[in-house]
Copies of this chain bind each other. A is one copy, B any other.
Amino acid sequence: MKRERIEEIAELLDKRGKLTLEQLDEQFPNVSQMTLRRDLFQLEQEGRIIRVRGGAMSVKEVQKVSGEPYTKKTTIHTDEKIKIAQKAASLIDDGCSLFMDGGTTAMYLAKELPDKNLHIFTNGLAVAIELAQKKNFHVTMLGGQVMKDNLSTASPVAKAYFDNTNFELAIISASAFTPENGFSCGSQIEADLLKLVRSKAKATYMMLDSSKIGKIMPYTFARVEDIDVLITDDNFPADLKEEFTARNIVVM
């Protein structure tokens, strides 16, 4: 009973990186805060977590703190992204083959995905490592030049790769979105890659947290009508939602 709960906490902490006592309380409504506190204490004794004021963080997360460039981004709008990732994960059927990008939202998705029989392609290094943790996943990494800021790869040669491979679903995210300029990102070859991915996939699911709305990045890789499902958070503006649903795009 106790041990079970502790392991569950450890797992959660591994997923989310950081948890407050409040969040833990929500997750475990049947035990008191004091008990959770004691669990955290034990985990700290075992050297598996670090207790900080208000809660605890996983050792992994702390190590990331030192790896600045990529990980700074991962701590903003975390909650929204996790929710989006959970929604997206619920859409994935067993046996599906899909592409996911290397962004931070994809990272959360990788953590949330249940360990089903899936074939997953990605261009994200960290995402690939995360996916490799699951026993039943068949993970394929796209090669190419490594972009240091987001730890993903892109290369013009990717096309050759895709010639022999098929996937049903593309789950991607964008750095910026406006209705006029569509979904955009900061790198030309990344945009090219994502366009290619879109064209290969039977359906495109876009994950977009609302903080991206109104921003514009140099390279557009998809317009509103190019996607099939938009997965976003509760702050998504109602009028924008109209624009999507009017074109038969599911917004969730």
Q: Does A139 contact B (CB under 8 A)?
A: yes
CB–CB A132/B153 < 8 A: no
In the assembled complex, how far is the CB of residue A159 from the closest CB belonging to chain B, in whole angstroms?
A: 10
B-contacting 9-mer, from A66-74, A84-92, A216-224: A66-74
With A146-B139, A161-B157 given, is the CB distance from A53 to B53 under 8 Å? yes
Q: Does A59 contact B (CB under 8 A)?
A: yes
Q: Does A32 contact B (CB under 8 A)?
A: no
**3 tightest Cβ-Cβ pairs between the two chains A and B:** A143-B143, A139-B146, A59-B66
CB–CB B146/A143 < 8 A: no
Chain copies in complex: 2
> Please, which residues of chain B bring their CB within 8 A of the CB of A189?
none
B-contacting 9-mer, from A44-52, A195-203, A206-214: A44-52
Interfacial residues, chain A to chain B (CB-CB below 8 A):
46-48, 50-53, 57, 59, 62-63, 65-70, 72, 125-126, 128-129, 131-133, 135, 138-146, 148, 151, 153, 155, 157-158, 160-161, 164
A-B contact pairs, 17 of them (CB 8 A): A47-B66, A47-B68, A47-B72, A48-B70, A52-B52, A53-B53, A59-B62, A126-B129, A132-B146, A133-B148, A139-B145, A139-B148, A140-B145, A140-B146, A140-B153, A143-B153, A157-B164
